[in-house]
Chains A and B, each alone.
Chain A
Amino acid sequence: MAPKVGSRRSLVVSLFLTIAIAFGALGTTLALGWGPKLGLDLAGGLSVVYKPATHASKADMQEVVTILNNRVNGLGVSGAEVNLQGKNVVVSVPGVKNARAVLAAVGQTAQLLFRPVLCETTAPSAKAKAVSTVPACASSYALTAANLNVNTSTGEPTNNIALDPAYTNIKSTLPANDKPSAMVILPGLGTSDRYVLGPAQLTGKSVKSAVAQQDQVGAWVVNYTLTGAGSPLWDKVAEENFHAELAIELDGVVQSAPLIQPSQASFTSFDGQGEISGSFTESSAKNLALAMEFGSLPVRLEALNTVTVSPTLGHSSLVAGLGAGLVGLALVLLYTILYYRALGLVIVLGLGVTAALLWAIISALGHTAFAPSFDLAGVTGLIVSIGITVDSYIVYFERLKDEARAGRSVRSSVDRGFKSAWRTVLAADTVSLLAAVLLYIIAVGDVRGFAFFLGLSTLMDVAITWYFTRPIVILLGRRSSDSTSAISMAAGLTPGVVHE
């Protein structure tokens, strides 16, 4: 079926409706104060791509996304996004002022584990070697409840158990070997001594929330609440380790190793909540609380790619991108006007309509969670699409010249020319759209933004060609009956070529 070219009335309606919609939409978004959601390379910010260190199920990765989302939101930054791209988790926080502070908090990719402390040891010597299995502690150095013999009135152990020297020549457990089920040697936070720890008895999943607070005497403590399922588990672990130390391990570092209920003579249930006290500073208490609440990831993450962009650099990139786009656009317009003269003005108006519509759509999409943010790659996609958009006009105008050379009147040339140009435009735009869609589905990171905006403007090109270019050129063509009119001059219908 050849496309119907349409009656004069429908052409006029189509033309004015398109112009009205384009500039109406632009006006609306401007009036609402909407703008595109700028990507971090334009607004400044932070982006990290994590990959799971070991095999992780789809459900695990979904949980990672939820937890990272909580962490980022817990820091009070707005506009942060955490999403899954293939097997990777991408965290992007555009517009954040101090990107590296956020990075430090989000970058705690650890899993939180609770392990019993078996004994303590010294920092490794220079000759220390890695071992596959950690040997057991000598009984005289073991931090058992019996050895410690906690004095319930002071809350301190009666016996000061020395560091076990047997581990001096053994290296700390490497992250790759730090499995929950293994016995490990790990460093402690803020100490040169190391801990020899038993297999994990509980993970951070059991912790519902944790906050850093000051107690009555003004000392910093961490108050935590356990989940419904976690509460009995915690009680079981606490009872097993009553009057002994339970280490809280995050990312291979012991954050804290508190004694369990040292002020009580016998074990009592925690009833789902507890308090960790000790020599905390404000920041160490807050970090522990953050780690306890959000620290539990089902899988260890490795940062594949970390990027922070300063707001200044982002701004200068935005200026560069827009500047390059405008200069490019101006050059193209200048060329088309020089080449096609009056018809060039149709291209100018058409690009104006396209630009207005695109800006309105991009701004509106910026208000939904759906579209990728508008980054430098997206700007490039749009700049590239200038060529594709203008080409549709060129294809049509060149066809027009062909028809005119065949001796047809301007009136019939515009109709016939459009029909053949339309098929070419559709075929060519299909190819361009095919590329954009494939890239969007398959690619990672910035590429998606590029593909999205390229695809969007290709679709726009098809719509504009049909609803704007077709009516305006056909209407112009029907108005001009003589070969001296602007359109026939522009179409290359100089007298002599068509005269017989």
Chain B
Amino acid sequence: MSDVEKAPNRFQRLYRGLTTIDFVGRRRIWFTLSIVIIVIGIGSLSIRGFNLGIDFKGGDSWEVLAPHTSISKMTTAVERAGLTLPTVEKLGSDTYEVTADLNNLSTTNQTIVTNNVVNAMAKVADVNPIQVSTSSVGPTWGSQITDRALEALIIFFIAVVGYISIRFEPKMALAAFIAMVHDLLVTIGVYSLFGLQITPDTVIAILTILGYSLYDTVVVFDRVRDNTGGILKSGDITYGEMVNLSMNQTLARSINTSLVAILPVFSVLVVGAYILGATTLQSYGLALFVGLLSGAYSSIFIASPLLAVMKEREPRFRDLAARVASRSDHRILSPSSAALLGAEGSVRGTGATTTRTPRTSTYVTPRARKQKRR
């Protein structure tokens, strides 16, 4: 019994699932933070609106790889070719993109101007005209994409809420749903706030984020369900405390998962879009990056505390909380007691001081996890 060990540092605690962050208790802080971000985003949205790409407004764009030219040269060339007020941008290291709207011209004139611009850009870039990429979008294309995306979104929400309600329980479905709406609002807000361009790819990326955010939440809820299986019987810990414990136990996993999800997306953004200049990757990467951050945050700081709040209102868990509070030996969770709680799955009266109870004496039934299996 010579295990007077050094107090583990933060990383070791995280690594062993021994952290004691009070996620549920400090929920007001997290909720306020999210509400502030969302309100700022919506405020910006109502004032500035979105920066919609040509796919939504309709319009035309041309792209060419041109290492030895400048924006001003390109602008002069395309204006001479017949564009009024074109937008000329440099993407990545040497790709130039020209944007203008030709939809008010007749079909014949659109073709003529498009060809003129292609030839002019090819000349500036000193390449064959077939090296110029073009994109022409009619005014109704964007609404089709948006309609489809909204349709997909609504069906997805219904399917997901249904699935979680059946597999887990309706309150978890509701909490997960709110977390998804949170991510949606945050991402939209960030896009409006920073004036980032919305393309159909952004819409796809947002749908993916919602899937991912949910994926993350499901993993945490899976643990919460495991852990809360027997708490009514034992009467040692409230639902909220158990959620908090579950969160701390899965914190290492949540952080790792978010990191391994964000690293590739970060690489898409930095390597793919900015260094190598693939614009499609940029619009995907940006939305995914913002959304994954928000998704990781909402699984931990929104979905789970929300679940705890909702469950604590149920009479049986309110009674449990009252019972737990009345017990004299109820203490606040410490790292070591948290470890034991997590390890045993069922809880004895472990106070802050009674560290490392010999496990032989604390063998209670393992987690009650099989009863709800389908």
Question: Which residues of A are at the interface with B, using a C-beta cutoff of 8 A?
Answer: 1-2, 41, 49, 51, 86, 88, 97-100, 104, 302-313, 316-317, 319-321, 323-325, 327-329, 331-332, 335-336, 339, 376-377, 380, 383-384, 386-388, 390-391, 394-395, 398, 401-402, 405-407, 420, 423-424, 427-432, 434-436, 438-439, 442-447, 450, 454, 492, 496-497, 499-500
Contacts and interface: CB of A to CB of B under 8 A. Distances in A.
Contact of B63 (A313, A328, A395, A492): A313
Contacts of B200: 445-447
Interface in B213-267: 214-215, 218-219, 222-223, 226, 249-250, 252-253, 256-257, 259-267
Given A304-B144, A305-B141, A328 B263 contact: yes
Contacts of A311: 130-131
A100 B276 contact: no
Contact of B271 (A320, A386, A391, A432): A320
What 7 A-B pairs come out closest when comparing CB atoms? Answer: A328-B264, A387-B261, A324-B272, A320-B276, A435-B211, A328-B267, A320-B278
A461 to B, nearest CB: 11
Contacts of A304: 137-138, 140-141, 144
Contact of A500 (B167, B250, B359): B359
Contacts of A423: 222, 373
B47 to A, nearest CB: 30
B18 to A, nearest CB: 9
A420 B262 CA distance: 25
Contacts, number: 279
Given A304-B137, A305-B141, A496-B3, A435 B264 contact: no
B201 interface: yes
Interface string B107-124: 000010001001000000
B272 to A, nearest CB: 3
Nearest to A493: B16
B271 A428 contact: no
Interface stretch (B30-38, B321-329, B338-346): B338-346
B57 interface: no
Given A435-B208, A435-B210, A380 B359 contact: no
A88 to B, nearest CB: 8
A436 B208 CA distance: 8
B204 A446 contact: yes
Contacts of A496: 3, 5
Contacts of A329: 264
B160 to A, nearest CB: 7
A323 B132 CA distance: 23
Nearest to A340: B256
A434 B268 contact: no
Contacts of A387: 212, 257, 260-265
Contacts of A446: 200-201, 204
B138 A302 contact: yes
A86 B369 CA distance: 45
Given A384-B208, A384-B265, A387-B264, A316 B277 contact: yes
Nearest to A450: B204
Contacts of A383: 264-265, 267-268
Interface residues of B, number: 94
Contacts of A331: 263-264, 266-267
Contacts of B215: 388, 391, 428-429, 431-432
A61 to B, nearest CB: 15
A454 B211 CA distance: 11
A310 B359 contact: no
Nearest to B137: A305
B267 A327 contact: yes
A307 B135 contact: yes
B284 interface: yes
B280 A310 contact: no
A331 B263 CA distance: 7
29 contacts: A100-B134, A305-B135, A306-B134, A313-B64, A316-B277, A321-B278, A324-B267, A324-B273, A328-B263, A380-B268, A383-B265, A387-B262, A390-B260, A401-B17, A405-B343, A406-B342, A407-B359, A423-B222, A434-B156, A435-B156, A435-B208, A439-B207, A442-B148, A443-B152, A445-B145, A492-B15, A497-B339, A500-B358, A500-B359
Given A431-B160, A447-B204, A500 B356 contact: yes
Contacts of B359: 406-407, 500
